[in-house]
Structure formats: C-alpha cells, structure tokens
C-alpha cells in the first residue's frame, strides 16, 4: 500500500512540474530563442549577449557581467536562478568581486579629495 502511494505521489509530482523548469541554458551554447526562454532575458539582452559572444566565448560570470550592458550582478543572479549558466557554472556574487571598472560599481567616477581619500558622490 505504501509503495503504491509513493508511486502515485511521484507520478503526480512528475506530471505537474513545469517541463523546462530545471533545464540549464549555457550562455556560450544557446541560440537567441533558447536564451529568451530564460525568464528576464528578452530580445535586447539576448542580442547583446550574442554580439559579445561572437567576439569571444564568456570565460565566467564575471566576464559576462563585465561585457554585456544591462547584465549586472543582480540580473546575473536572477538569470542564474532561472537556469542560465556560464560554462556549466551558476552565478556566485563573489565571482565578480574586484572587477569593477575605473568608474566604479554603478558607472560613476569615484571622487577623491586632495589627500586622496574617497568622497561620496552626490546623487
């Protein structure tokens, strides 16, 4: 009896789970249509990803974040949660640490005083 109940539960679980929910999409292998199956990636982002990938495959998540406009750490985390991978790896925030450009994390130049100490930029 218990075996039948467990079997029925497994069948119900298997038939009610979304079909593509657990399929990984690798950014270096996917075409545009496949990239757009990842929740949050639309035609604009997928086009920018493919344009950058034509230049060279993405090495890791940090490389993707650095090269594709509109993909920051927040979007990278969301895309990874939805199944996007880079060379089979999921996103970890520390992977991109220390890779910010000279303008700083949010694209604004850091201001310093005469002594070289950082000042907070006005918003």
Work out the number of other CB atoms within 10 angstroms of the CB of residue 110: 13
| Listed residue (98, 96, 118) closest to 109, CA to CA | 118
Q: Which helix (H) or strand (E) holds 83?
A: none
The pLDDT-based confidence of 2 (bands split at 50, 70, 90) is low
Mean pLDDT confidence for 89-108: 59
pLDDT at position 106 over 60: no
pTM above 0.85, yes or no: no
Signed CA dihedral, 107, 108, 114, 118: sign only:
negative
Which tens digit of pLDDT belongs to each residue from 40-87? 999 999 999 999 999 999 999 999 999 999 999 999 999 999 999 999
Instruction: Let me know if 38 is exposed, middle or buried by CB neighbors in 10 A (0-12, 13-18, 19+).
Output: buried
Domains of the chain from N-terminus onward: 19-96 (1.10.150.320)
Phi-psi region of 25 (alpha: psi -120 to 50; beta: other; left: phi over 0): beta
Coil, strand or helix: which one is 25? Answer: strand
pLDDT of residue 118: 54
Measure the CA–CA gap between 116 and 119, rounded to whole angstroms.
9
Q: Are 82 and 25 in contact (CB under 8 A)?
A: no
Mean pLDDT confidence for 14-28: 66
The pLDDT-based confidence of 34 (bands split at 50, 70, 90) is very high
Q: Are 38 and 82 in contact (CB under 8 A)?
A: yes
pLDDT of residue 72: 94
């Amino acid at each position: 009896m218990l075996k039948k109940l467990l079997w029925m539960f497994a069948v119900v679980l298997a038939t009610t789970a979304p079909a593509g929910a657990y399929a990984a999409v690798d950014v270096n292998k996917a075409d545009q249509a496949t990239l757009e199956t990842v929740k949050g990636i639309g035609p604009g982002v997928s086009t920018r990803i493919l344009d950058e990938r034509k230049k060279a495959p993405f090495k890791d998540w940090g490389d993707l974040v650095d090269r594709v406009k509109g993909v920051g750490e927040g979007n990278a985390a969301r895309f990874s949660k939805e199944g996007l991978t880079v060379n089979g790896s999921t996103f970890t925030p520390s992977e991109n640490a220390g890779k910010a450009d000279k303008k700083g994390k949010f694209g604004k130049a850091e201001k310093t005083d005469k002594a070289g100490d950082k000042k907070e930029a006005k918003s």
